[in-house]
Homo-oligomer: A and B are copies of this chain.
């Protein structure tokens, strides 16, 4: 019987700001907070900017004949995000292997990004696992060189 270990801290040791984004009505549900499923798009938005920042856009990866489908997703929700909050989505490399990449996320509201908030508020921690595949045959493939170099550079200890 499986059991999800709750993420109570960031899965990645070093994090960079991926994006800041404002919560809109489309993101919320009738409980008056952000719907839990909305976070998948927040994480994706942060991930693509994180990669762009590392010098490799996801569009580049695809153009080079690869894809990085997400194979596993885990999110732990610590405090609800609300309409009009500005969320900071931090991203970091947890691990990069032959064909596997694990990223960690910390979603938070910074002071000033919610009315009356005096200190950073953690909203969620998350982790995504990706497999590098060759688009030609859909099979796992070693990360292309430039992407590996870019990501390893962002990994805490360039582990392989």
List the interface of chain A (C-beta within 8 A of B): 1-7, 9, 11-13, 22, 24-26, 28-33, 35-37, 40-41, 44-45, 48-49, 57-59, 67, 69-77, 80, 83-84, 94-95, 102, 104, 115, 125, 127, 129
Contact of A44 among B5, B11, B24 (CB under 8 A): B24
Is there contact, CB below 8 Å, between A35 and B31? no
Question: Copy number of this protein in the oligomer?
Answer: 4
- What is the distance, in angstroms, from A110's C-beta to the closest C-beta of chain B? 18
- Extra pairs beyond A30-B31, A59-B84 (4, CB < 8 Å): A1-B95, A2-B125, A28-B29, A29-B30
Is there contact, CB below 8 Å, between B6 and A22? no
